[in-house]
Structure 1
Amino acid sequence: MPADMPARTPAGTSADIADVRRFRERLGLPGFVDVHTHFMPHQVLRKVWGYFDALGPLTGGIEWPIRYRHEEDERAALLREFGVRAFTAMLYPHKPGMARWLNEWAAGFARRTPDCLHTSTFFPEAGAEEYVAEALDAGARVFKAHVQVGAYDPADPLLDRTWGLLAEAGTPVVVHCGSGPAPGKHTGPGPVGRVLARHPRLRLVVAHLGMPEYEDFLGLAERYAEVRLDTTMAFTGFGERLAAFPRRALPRLADLGDKVLLGSDFPNIPYPYGEQLHALERLGLGDAWLRSVCHDNGAKLFGIR
């Protein structure tokens, strides 16, 4: 597509756009900062979509149809139509030797997509600290780690210097470390808790509010000043079917309002983008809390004016 030609938004999304726009206007938001969206190389994303297409057996038979299965430029255009001011390219390796290549792709994507927060990743392997340092030098603003898919212990000694480097840089790391939708050998609060005990200044963002170990991960956010949580899929009808958030923990979530960030999992969601927003609204924690979660907390974390 020529550089001067705007990307078109996908057909059939006008109702989704209108719904999100009404939500944004009601709250008087300048837009959204979504810290959990996925952009990755075409061949990798197709494999991820294939995983979700076959996910029923791993989710107790609950199907997971991808709602926004569009081309890359259409997906970015749709986020802009929603009013998302900044988003991420959450990508992650599932084996050694893959992270550096993903980081090279993500750097190129960030260059051609100014509203994407330059995202990078890593894996427990020799050389991880070096390519993470290279990514930071290249302008990476957020990292993604997926303990479940990578099937690794985040406290692996091969990652210790990498975690230390990221803690020193103050760069946020969005980590899928909860045991949803299916548990892994190293998921849950224990392994990542060992990382935080060693690197207490690490800016860790727990994906999916730590689903399903919500209360344990709330505890980590209460204990460590730089630990945050993203809302990805939490409280939606689909997310509640997978793992309901305990309502007794809502006061704790309200108290952590400055440490909760909007995440959506776009495009890999089986419902309209606005469902995540309305699910947060239904909690009844107030408009000020909603504004902080949907925009202000992310804007502050990433210095977005």
Structure 2
Amino acid sequence: MPDAGEGEAGLVAGFLARHRLPGLVDVHTHFMPERVLDKVWAYFDAAGPLVGAEWPITYRQEEGQRLALLREFGVVAFTSMVYPHKAGMAEWLNGWAADFAARTPDCLHTATFYPEPGAEAYVRRAVEAGARVFKAHVQVGAYDPNDPLLDPVWGLLAEAGLPVVTHCGSGPAPGKHTGPEPMARLLARHPRLPLVVAHMGMPEYTDFMDLAERYAEVRLDTTMAFTDFSEGMAPFPKGESGRLADLGDRVLLGSDFPNLPYPYVHQLESIERLGLGSEWVRAVCYGNGAALFLK
């Protein structure tokens, strides 16, 4: 596997050329206030209980260098996935993310929320300010997505047609409210919610593909799925590749950059080695994300 940094951009360029891609749309990248990101990295360094394994951070550069790397890799649109772990954080994070998007034109204006009084009001303000995508982290936030405080938030986002990238699967370690059942109950009430299941829902891949087949607005992002790192812990079921191919218009490239325990290009090569063809790779790595965000 290649070292990150110098030389890796050439490998990514080779991937783009092989599949005739104009660039990459990555719906799952993390840019945060520096002190928050430092705490996230410290948690990974300590292999905290929600990490589940040793997790060296590959791209520990300062913000400007990380932005430059994404652009060298041909990423034309990406996100600043922010998420609160307690009440009182979300609105502050939304303010930071709005400022970041204003000074970073290729970053999709990202926002978040938490089950707390006032959530509907600050989510509405974020929508009115131009937010394009939201992040919900059921695992880290340790909240039930069906909390009554969030019902108006989900309804607002469903009505606005704004995608919500949601860590709701039980990998790399289960949370109090992770797994497909809470999301199935949520979607039964909000069937038009544009839910993007982070990490392909690992390890409950099959159950979340079931939801994607049942609800036309449910999508899945590839973040860390199919990589050597994840296959060692939560392998994608080999018998499901046909369903994965059929869902090709609802699978989006995600990476978790910069919080990767391997080089960025490995995520791309892991998608490629599924053997589902260049048309599928083009849709996943660019076309589906472009249709959702660059229209």
TM score, norm. by length of structure 1: 0.94
Residue 93 of structure 2 aligns to a residue whose secondary structure is helix
Q: Distance in 2 between matches of 1:151 and 1:296?
A: 33
Aligned to 2:257: 266
Asked if 1 retains the 8 angstrom alpha-carbon contact of 2:79 and 2:110, the reply is: yes
Amino-acid identity (%): 71
Q: Structure 1 residues 196 and 65 mapped into 2: Cα distance closer, same or farther (>3 Å)?
A: same
- The answer to whether structure 1 residue 29 and structure 2 residue 21 are counterparts is yes
Unaligned regions of 5+ residues in structure 1, if any?
1-10
Asked if 1 retains the 8 angstrom alpha-carbon contact of 2:4 and 2:58, the reply is: no
Q: CA RMSD in A?
A: 1.2
CA deviation string 1:159-193 (max 9, x = no partner) = 00000000000000000000001101100001111
1:201-212 aligned within 5 A: 201-212=192-203
Residue 182 of structure 1 aligns to a residue whose secondary structure is coil
Q: Distance in 2 between matches of 1:58 and 1:151?
A: 11
Aligned residue among 32, 41, 54 for 1:49 = 41
Aligned amino acid, residue 235 of structure 2: A
Aligned amino acid, residue 239 of structure 1: S
CA deviation string 1:219-252 (max 9, x = no partner) = 0000000000000000000011120000111111
TM score, norm. by length of structure 2: 0.97
Aligned residue among 121, 125, 132 for 1:141 = 132
Asked if 2 retains the 8 angstrom alpha-carbon contact of 1:56 and 1:64, the reply is: no
Runs of 4+ aligned structure 1 residues displaced above 3 Å come to 56-60
Aligned residue among 97, 111, 116 for 1:120 = 111
Aligned amino acid, residue 262 of structure 2: Y
- The answer to whether structure 1 residue 81 and structure 2 residue 72 are counterparts is yes
1:142-291 aligned within 5 A: 142-291=133-282
Residue 79 of structure 1 aligns to a residue whose secondary structure is helix
Q: Distance in 2 between matches of 1:110 and 1:56?
A: 30
Asked if 1 retains the 8 angstrom alpha-carbon contact of 2:203 and 2:235, the reply is: yes
Q: Distance in 2 between matches of 1:188 and 1:121?
A: 20
Aligned residue pairs, count: 293
Aligned amino acid, residue 44 of structure 1: V
Aligned amino acid, residue 236 of structure 1: T
> How big is the shift at 1:26?
1.5
> How big is the shift at 1:215?
0.2
> How big is the shift at 1:195?
0.8
CA deviation string 1:76-102 (max 9, x = no partner) = 111000000000000100000100000
Aligned to 1:5: none
> How big is the shift at 1:303?
2.7
Residue 145 of structure 1 aligns to a residue whose secondary structure is strand
Residue 177 of structure 2 aligns to a residue whose secondary structure is coil
Q: Distance in 2 between matches of 1:251 and 1:53?
A: 37
Aligned to 1:39: 31
Unaligned regions of 5+ residues in structure 2, if any?
none
> How big is the shift at 1:56?
6.8
Aligned residue among 283, 286, 294 for 1:295 = 286
